[in-house]
Amino acid sequence: MYVLLRQSSEDFLSTPFRLVIVAIATSGAVVGAKLLFLLEDPTLTLQHLHDPVFLLGGKTIVGALIGGLIAVELIKRNIGIHRSTGDLFAIPLALGIAIGRIGCFLTGLSDNTYGTVTLLPWGLDFGDGVRRHPTQLYEMIFLLMLVLLLYWVTQQVKLGARFQSGDAFKVFMISYMGFRLFCDFIKPYPRVLLGMGTIQWACFMVLLYYASDIRRWMSPVSMPDTESPCK
């Protein structure tokens, strides 16, 4: 999907520079995914500091996205790139995470991505006789709907409407972090502060990071003065 989108767009980055961005993003994602996982349950991490199996296992998508974002922004600043480079990744990321959640759903309890106990009719038994929120399916449905929104945003960018270059990736990040912030309330994750888990606080910080863009999108669009003479 990324290759198809790049072929159909005018990428201002040459292929070597684009590959550097991809490599840096991947490296940052690996580090971020691991670090946020270790911070998800600080008590459990401290208890397993000398357990290589625990330390090598586990990762979080939220951490990967944040780590990739930080890494790319740092390298862009270092090599003097001031334009956004993330739009081409927005739709592929949304699709990739949705596909990955199929594995999370099929793995069941051991994947630790299921929801809390529920009496709702669509609650699912993951093998222990308890009906829980199928949060993996919630996320898949949300991401597939998000793909449609992202496609619309990319078209608006091309038309020069409300959205500008870089907004597709920002919409992806804001939408996914907002979803995880609220969806994780129905996941049995440890609450570290004010009733929220580490992943939720990470999502909240990302939303603060993009607050100016949210305000920009919510501000009314100035209409052209139709009574003014053409110049």
Domain boundaries, the chain: 14-82, 87-194+209-215
Report the distance separating Cα 44 and Cα 38, nearest Å: 8
Per-residue pLDDT at 136: 96
Q: How many residues does the chain have?
A: 231
Mention every residue, 6+ apart, whose C-beta is less than 8 A from residue 149: 171, 175
**In angstroms, how far is CA 53 from the centroid of its own chain?**
27
Long-range contacts of 116-122 (CB under 8 A, 24+ apart): 116/186, 116/187, 116/188, 118/186
Cα distance between the two ends of the chain: 43
Residue from 178, 177, 137, 169 nearest 150 by CA: 169
Per-residue pLDDT at 123: 96
Per-residue pLDDT at 225: 43
Residue from 34, 69, 103 nearest 176 by CA: 69
Per-residue pLDDT at 51: 87
Token representation of residue 200 = 């939720």
Considering Cα of 67, then 58, then 176, then 152, what sign does the dihedral take?
Answer: positive
Single pTM value for the model: 0.89
Strand, helix or coil at 198? helix
pLDDT in 10s for each residue of the chain, 231 residues: 988 888 888 777 888 888 888 899 999 999 999 999 999 988 888 988 888 888 888 899 999 999 999 999 998 888 887 788 889 999 999 999 999 999 999 998 988 899 999 999 999 999 999 999 999 999 999 999 999 999 999 988 888 777 888 899 999 999 999 999 999 999 998 999 999 999 999 999 999 999 999 999 988 764 444 444 443
Per-residue pLDDT at 221: 62
Report the distance separating Cα 33 and Cα 62, nearest Å: 7
Report the distance separating Cα 124 and Cα 110, nearest Å: 15
